[in-house]
Structure 1
Amino acid sequence: MLHSFSETVRSFLLILALSTCFTTAFDLQAKVEQLEKNYVRIKEHLEAKIMDLETKVGRLEDKVKEQDSLLAVLKNGHKPLKDSVDINQHHRYNAILRTCHEIYAANPSFYPGMYWIDPDGHGIGDPPSPSTAT
């Protein structure tokens, strides 16, 4: 009887171990599936973030190029004219005026800088001289 009790205990322990293994296997399978779902969700989220950041980087690179070109113009001491109409108007009205105030009154879009003025009038007396208009 002792022998059969020991066999019964062994059988019970074997059944308990097998049931634990199957239960653990099912739990592990569910956990693996959940982890796979989480991985896919995180991967999609990160891919969307990467695309968003790449778009932002492109915009920032464009802004940097624009700022670099403006900086180069400013380093040269010139301000860019808005379009060819401004250039044509500048040449058409390129008469030498008497004062900086007259220059500004003739075209308020002129930038501060060096301009030729002729205080005694164009073609009269002393020749024109450079003056700084502010």
Structure 2
Amino acid sequence: MKQLSDFIGKRRVKTPSMDIFPMEVGRRLRLQRIAFRWRQSDLALRAGVSVQTIKTVEKGEAISSWNLLRILLALNQGSDFLKMLEAPNFPSLKAHEHYLQLTSVKGPSLLGRRVRTKAVTATQTPEKKA
């Protein structure tokens, strides 16, 4: 009989390391741009960014999150991006349960509130130097 972990393990793709991740994002954006038969200047115009920004992200170098979002929206990835955020990969069942509590209709509103994972006690705060 198969266990739950057998199904979960097959579904999840291993996340690339921080060294590889930007290169993989750039590669995938480039492939999608080419599949659309767009030049870098076409994507830059549609995204409202410079051609240099497109070249930078395709090389796997850092760009601002705002520019990355503009590029994703220009490539019609906005709804996919939001869908990904709706269904995160939880590290544990407890984390998933907590997420469901926070997003339920009766759950607390987190807008404008600070969220702490653990209560801070007086013994945990660093002592001030005189």
Q: TM-score range by the shorter chain?
A: under 0.3
> TM-score under structure 1 normalisation?
0.25
> TM-score under structure 2 normalisation?
0.26
Structure exhibiting the larger radius of gyration computed from Cα positions: 1
More helix by share: 1
